[in-house]
């Protein structure tokens, strides 16, 4: 089955993968799993033993995330270079999708400190699977949509992701908060069933995307030396980047503000629970608020970018993130209105959460050289930049907790990175498609 670039059928199939995988991003990365992990490992003042070493439970979790992103940062350029040369992005995307979805299902067997290794190992593998599949998913964007379509197409994917993930999360929450409705008496079972459902959801809905998306768009013919050729393709792109200063500057800016964006997404619920003393119900309300406002925000900023350009839109979102990050820093658990202020911050971040992600992806796609066929290899630099920023951000978060027993310092540092990213964005000049 073959569809033309820019056709509604292929665009919808591409965007539908966001519907499939975003359940992981919301339920596992942001909402239910971090809260569940904190709850089942909070004995002994939050100290846990892993590989013969004592860790603070939150520190161990952030280090596990850092390690998973370090692995992705290391392997994705190699894999994407090979995929471009062999022309089989879809096969790699499928492999990582299956790795991630089955790893999420395996979290069902994580019940507490007695099998902590299951929670940590499969958290790492699920993260590798999710982000590894996105390397190849993002690389499809310039192949399924023309430059003038890419802002809306990118936004469409994120909006589908929001709808799908919220739908599943709401159902999961009925089990977690009202297990008696389902005749469930074991305390950890509702959350563990949620993990199982996320894996099935991700695996099942991804099949439509895999059925429609083309493989080997440019009819590359693999040879026996495909691994060597994959490295050659990667090296060629590294050399080419020297001749695209706007692309290099953008990657620097993206790295700086992504430190704040991705770390906030991954650890906001942990921060709210441990540092601000918020109840699970308050955190869930905030997460849902972020998701619903995020749908509107992705749509609004896709229109703003059409009217005023990608760069101005990105600058607006980065500044809002910086202000919101500093706002989280000055919040205090003794404030009688801390709940409402946290909700307000959630609403503000929701407005720009989807916007900064979709604008970042489409802006990078527009900055790619018109003549390149190595989309996966080029997008690997985008993904590696993001993953290294997450390694850096999550490591800072975990180290700050280990040194100060507080997350306040790391939150302040995140706001500084947002401002630094904004400064670098101002040095990027307008191009044919980016203005």
- pLDDT tens string 346-362: 888 888 877 887 788 77
**DSSP-assigned letters across all residues of 37-83:** HHHHT-TGGGEEEETTEEEEHHHHHHHHHHHHHHHHHHHHHHHHHHH
Rounded Cα gap, residues 361 and 40, in angstroms: 36
Name the pLDDT band for 225 (thresholds 50, 70, 90). low
- In eight-state DSSP terms, residue 213 is S
Average pLDDT over residues 47-54: 83
Cα–Cα distance measured from residue 242 to residue 246, given in angstroms and rounded to the nearest whole number: 10
Cα 11 to Cα 148: distance, rounded to the nearest angstrom:
13
Tokens 């003549």, located at residue: 371
Among 4-8, 75-79, 389-393, the range of highest mean pLDDT: 389-393
Which of these ranges, 15-19, 25-29, 113-117, 265-269, has the smallest mean pLDDT?
265-269
- Mean pLDDT to the nearest integer, 309-324: 87
As a whole number, mean pLDDT of residues 78-101 equals 80
pTM for the whole structure? 0.76
Quickly state the pLDDT bin for 423 (edges 50, 70, 90).
very high
Q: What pLDDT band is residue 230 in, cutting at 50, 70 and 90?
A: low
Per cent of the chain over pLDDT 70 is: 88
The residue among 23 and 353 whose pLDDT is bigger is: 23
Residue 24 reports pLDDT greater than 70: yes
What local confidence, expressed as pLDDT, does residue 122 receive?
A: 95
Reply yes or no on whether the pLDDT at 162 is more than 70.
Answer: yes
Q: What is the pLDDT of residue 107?
A: 95
Instruction: Give the chain's mean pLDDT.
Output: 81
Q: What is the DSSP string of 230-279?
A: HHHHHHHHHHHHTT-HHHHHHHHHHHHHHHHHHHHHHHHHHHHHHTS---
Q: Taking Cα atoms as reference points, which of 27, 2, 309, 305 lies closest to residue 162?
A: 27
Long-range contact list for 217-224, CB < 8 A, 24+ apart? 217/87, 217/143, 218/87, 218/373, 219/87, 220/84, 220/85, 220/86, 220/87, 221/87, 222/85, 222/86, 222/87, 222/88
| pLDDT score for 96 | 94
Choice between 319 and 273, residue whose per-residue pLDDT is larger: 319
pLDDT (mean) for 289-296: 78
State which H helix or E strand residue 126 sits in: helix 116-139
Looking at residue 219, its pLDDT comes to 57
Per the model's pLDDT, the better-predicted residue between 241 and 417 turns out to be 417
What's the pLDDT score for residue 145?
78
- 111 vs 226, which has greater pLDDT? 111
**What's the CATH fold of domain 8-425?**
Growth Hormone; Chain: A; (1.20.1250)
**Mean pLDDT: which of 142-156, 173-187, 290-304, 382-396 is highest?**
173-187
* Reported confidence tier of residue 218, pLDDT bands at 50, 70, 90: low
> pLDDT band at 91, cuts 50/70/90?
confident
- Of the listed ranges 171-180, 273-282, 416-425, the least confidently predicted one is 273-282
Q: Tokens for 357?
A: 């992600």
Residue 395 is predicted with a pLDDT of: 82
Each residue's pLDDT tens digit, 359-384: 887 788 788 776 555 566 677 677 77
Residue 192 has pLDDT above 90, yes or no: yes
Q: What angle do CA 121, 111, 177 make, to 5 degrees?
A: 120
pLDDT score recorded for residue 17: 92
Determine which of 27-36, 255-264, 353-362 has the lowest per-residue pLDDT on average: 353-362
Look-up of token digits 């970042």:
360
CB within 8 A of 156, min separation 6: which ones?
A: 11, 15
Confidence of residue 120 (pLDDT cuts 50, 70, 90): very high
Report the pLDDT value the prediction gives residue 287, as an integer from 0 to 100. Answer: 79
What is the mean predicted confidence (pLDDT) over 70-74? 84
- Which position has the higher pLDDT, 159 or 68? 68
Give the pLDDT mean for 226-253. 75
Residue with more model confidence, 153 or 64: 64
* Pairwise pLDDT comparison (30 vs 379), residue with the higher score: 30
For the chain, give every domain's residue range: 8-425
């Amino acid at each position: 089955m073959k569809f033309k670039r820019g056709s509604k059928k292929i665009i919808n199939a591409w965007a539908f993968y966001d519907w499939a995988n975003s359940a992981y991003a919301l339920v596992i990365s942001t909402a239910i799993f971090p809260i569940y992990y904190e709850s089942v490992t909070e004995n002994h003042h939050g100290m846990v033993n892993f590989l013969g070493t004592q860790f603070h439970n939150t520190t161990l979790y952030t280090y596990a995330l850092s390690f998973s992103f370090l692995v992705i940062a290391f392997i994705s350029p190699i894999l994407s270079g090979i995929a471009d040369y062999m022309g089989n992005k879809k096969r790699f995307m499928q492999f990582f999708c299956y790795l991630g979805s089955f790893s999420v299902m395996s979290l069902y067997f994580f019940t507490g400190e007695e099998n902590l290794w299951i929670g940590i190992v499969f958290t790492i593998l699920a993260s590798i699977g999710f982000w590894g599949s996105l390397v190849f998913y993002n690389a499809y964007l310039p192949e399924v949509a023309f430059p003038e379509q890419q802002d809306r197409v990118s936004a469409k994917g994120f909006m589908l992701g929001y709808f799908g993930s919220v739908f599943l999360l709401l159902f999961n929450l009925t089990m977690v908060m009202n297990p008696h409705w389902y005749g469930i008496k074991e305390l950890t079972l509702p959350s563990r069933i949620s993990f199982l459902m996320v894996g099935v959801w991700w695996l099942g809905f991804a099949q439509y995307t895999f059925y429609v998306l083309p493989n080997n768009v440019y009819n590359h013919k693999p040879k026996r030396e495909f691994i060597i050729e994959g490295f050659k393709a990667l090296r060629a792109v590294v050399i080419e980047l020297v001749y695209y200063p706007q692309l290099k500057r953008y990657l620097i800016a993206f790295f700086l503000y992504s430190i704040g964006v991705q770390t906030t997404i991954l650890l906001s619920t942990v921060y709210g629970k441990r540092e601000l003393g918020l109840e699970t119900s308050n955190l869930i309300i905030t997460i849902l608020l972020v998701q619903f406002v995020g749908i509107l925000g992705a749509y609004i900023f896709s229109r703003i970018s059409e009217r005023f350009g990608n760069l101005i839109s990105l600058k607006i979102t980065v500044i809002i993130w910086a202000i919101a990050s500093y706002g989280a820093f000055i919040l205090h658990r003794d404030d009688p209105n801390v709940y409402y202020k946290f909700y307000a911050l959630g609403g503000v971040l929701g407005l720009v959460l989807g916007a900064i992600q979709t604008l970042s992806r489409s802006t990078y796609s527009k900055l790619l050289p018109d003549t390149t066929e190595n989309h996966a290899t080029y997008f690997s630099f985008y993904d590696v930049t993001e993953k290294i920023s997450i390694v850096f951000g999550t490591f800072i978060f975990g180290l700050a907790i280990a040194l100060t027993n507080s997350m306040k310092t790391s939150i302040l540092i995140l706001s500084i990175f947002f401002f630094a990213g904004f400064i670098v964005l101002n040095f990027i000049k307008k191009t044919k498609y980016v203005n």
